[in-house]
Amino acid sequence: MDGARPMLAIDADALAAAIDPGWLVDYLRAGHAAPMAAVEQMLLSESRADGDSDHFLVWAAWRPGSGLASKLVTVFPDNERRGIGDNIRSVVVLFDGDGRPQAVITGESFTRMKTAADSALGASLLARPDAETLTVLGAGSQAETQIRHLVAVRPSIRRVLVWNRTLDKAAALAERSARPGLSVAATADAAAAVGEADIVSCVTAARAPVLAGAWLRPGAHVDLVGSFTPQMRESDDEVMRRGRIFVDTRRFTLEQSGDLSQPFKTGVIDAAAIAADLFELCAGRVGGRRSPEEITVFKNGGGGHLDLMVAQALFAKAAAGRHDPVR
């Protein structure tokens, strides 16, 4: 190919252990201090007999002079239960600012790191700095990475409670995630676990709320991850009534996530209830948490601009740490 550097083939799974979560969050923080990239999305969905749906998404982002990226991702929520691997799989192609291909990135760690770092950036700006208890609702493939990144930005966390509809799955995640100084335990009581939490992270494929606003303690930070279609929803109306609401971007949350579009439709809240997005927060145009008792709600909607940022981060890490350009 043209140019001085051959295109890299990057295995995100192999590289994940070398990526410090705090470094990746800071990379996203710097990226959000600049204007948002031009982004487009395509979503195809196919209903299944059990009422759930499989999805194929294409995210594209272009920041002129910096780079371009396109991610192709499949979301098949029944894969893990069927024993055929991850529910989410992706391939990312990265180009430089002149349109030259730089890398092809494979491995499911890419999307997991991107999603977790996005949530962790939100938590670094909105969660109490003295947060000690994290409750995670959901124990799928995203949850373990979510715990690692949230603890990285709030090292005061000493205890993690994991709830899942299948308790055995929550117990397995707890066993994998525990480490010295961090107690991780499964629980069958979501309400009690949320009531003890300083941070609540929802990483489910729920189509009906798994989180009730009445359970939240004053000062809690809520991280909503799973809902990326209008039919999916993790939080009830009371979460929206009680919390000061933030999003990563308005573009990929207000209409596309049922956590917001459904209460918009019923008049529980309107678009004016959204206090800020990550670009406004990182640029200092809007302040984050205002008091220790305030409940903050962050909707993680993802987007191609994040794929571009993370692809560039992984490319920089891979290019700096190896001599052989092809893995």
| 279-305 confidence digits (pLDDT tens) | 999 999 999 999 999 999 999 998 899
- 8-110+305-320: CATH superfamily: ornithine cyclodeaminase, domain 1 (3.30.1780.10)
Average pLDDT in the 51-70 region?
91
pLDDT (0 to 100) of residue 87? 79
What kind of architecture, by CATH, is found in domain 128-302? 3-Layer(aba) Sandwich (3.40)
| 147-170 confidence digits (pLDDT tens) | 999 999 999 999 999 999 999 999
pTM above 0.85, yes or no: yes
Q: What is the percent of the chain with per-residue pLDDT over 70, rounded to a whole number?
A: 97
Do 150 and 134 contact (CB within 8 A), yes or no? yes
Residue 142 has pLDDT above 80, yes or no: yes
Do 113 and 214 contact (CB within 8 A), yes or no? no
Burial group, residue 65, by CB count within 10 angstroms (0-12, 13-18, 19+): exposed
| 172-220 confidence digits (pLDDT tens) | 999 999 999 999 999 999 999 999 999 999 999 899 999 999 999 999 9
Distance CA 150, CA 155 (A): 8
pLDDT (0 to 100) of residue 229? 85
pLDDT (0 to 100) of residue 4? 55
Residue 322 has pLDDT above 60, yes or no: no
pLDDT (0 to 100) of residue 325? 34
Q: Per DSSP, which regions of the chain are E strands?
A: 8-11, 38-47, 53-63, 67-75, 88-96, 101-106, 133-137, 159-163, 183-187, 199-202, 221-224, 244-247, 274-277, 296-299
Average pLDDT in the 95-123 region?
95
As given in the structure block, the two tokens for residue 108 are 């499911």
Q: Per DSSP, which regions of 158-261 are E strands?
A: 159-163, 183-187, 199-202, 221-224, 244-247
Residue 321 has pLDDT above 80, yes or no: no
| 69-94 confidence digits (pLDDT tens) | 999 989 888 887 788 877 788 899 99
As given in the structure block, the two tokens for residue 9 are 């083939």
- Give the domain ranges of the chain: 8-110+305-320, 128-302
Mean pLDDT, all residues of the chain = 92
pLDDT (0 to 100) of residue 26? 96
